[in-house]
């Protein structure tokens, strides 16, 4: 007879991985990177706590804050619009996209923001994970 613990271990190895089942598993990040966005936002912006929560939810580093700071410095976007543009950003690239769209198209600011925002363009959920 095979001991119960060995059977459980074998079952784990025989079971399909979550990715094989179509389940998205967020990558594990060091704990300090999870809080980097919040810490950076508190030190570099005057955002309210609820705004920091909205900007940083799901972020794995401080990139959304860097994007937000650049957006506020290089565009005429409101705080809410800059947050919308930069949520889930991994670089300031959404700002470059927005500026290019504003300079080269006849699209309105809200449409350009939608096209350039990673959370909208890549259909990311509130936790910056792809929506099914």
- Quick: pLDDT tens for 49-82: 999 999 999 998 999 999 999 999 999 999 999 9
Prediction pTM value: 0.75
Length of the chain: 132
Number of domains in the chain: 1
According to DSSP H, which parts of 75-130 are helical? 79-86, 93-104, 109-116, 118-121
Rounded mean pLDDT, 21-49: 75
- 18: in domain: no
Given a cut of 70, is residue 118 above it in pLDDT?
A: yes
Question: With pLDDT > 70 as the criterion, what percentage of the chain qualifies?
Answer: 74
Given a cut of 50, is residue 98 above it in pLDDT?
A: yes
- 24: in domain: no
Q: Which domain holds residue 116?
A: 32-121
pLDDT at site 3: 53
Which residue's entry shows tokens 């449409």?
A: 111
Which residues, 6 or more positions from 86, have their beta carbon under 8 angstroms from its beta carbon? Answer: 55, 64, 65, 67, 68, 71, 94, 95, 117
- 86: in domain: yes
pLDDT at site 30: 57
Given a cut of 50, is residue 89 above it in pLDDT?
A: yes
- 16: in domain: no
CA 53/CA 3 separation, integer angstroms: 48
- 99: in domain: yes
- 91: in domain: yes
- 50: in domain: yes
Residue 21 tokens, joined: 């089942």
- Pick from 77, 108, 33, 45: nearest CA to 94: 77
Q: Bigger pLDDT: 92 or 35? A: 92
Q: Bigger pLDDT: 5 or 77? A: 77
- 131: in domain: no
């Amino acid at each position: 007879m095979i001991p119960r613990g060995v059977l459980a271990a074998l079952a784990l190895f025989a079971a399909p991985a979550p990715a094989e089942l179509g389940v998205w598993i967020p990558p594990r990040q060091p704990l300090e990177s999870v809080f980097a966005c919040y810490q950076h936002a508190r030190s570099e912006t005057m955002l309210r706590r609820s705004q920091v929560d909205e900007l940083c939810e799901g972020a794995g580093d401080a990139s959304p804050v860097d994007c937000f700071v650049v957006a506020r410095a290089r565009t005429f976007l409101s705080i809410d619009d800059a947050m919308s543009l930069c949520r889930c950003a991994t670089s300031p690239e959404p700002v470059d996209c927005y500026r290019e769209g504003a300079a080269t198209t006849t699209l309105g600011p809200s449409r350009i923001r939608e096209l350039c925002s990673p959370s909208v363009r890549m259909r990311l959920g509130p936790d910056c994970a792809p929506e099914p």
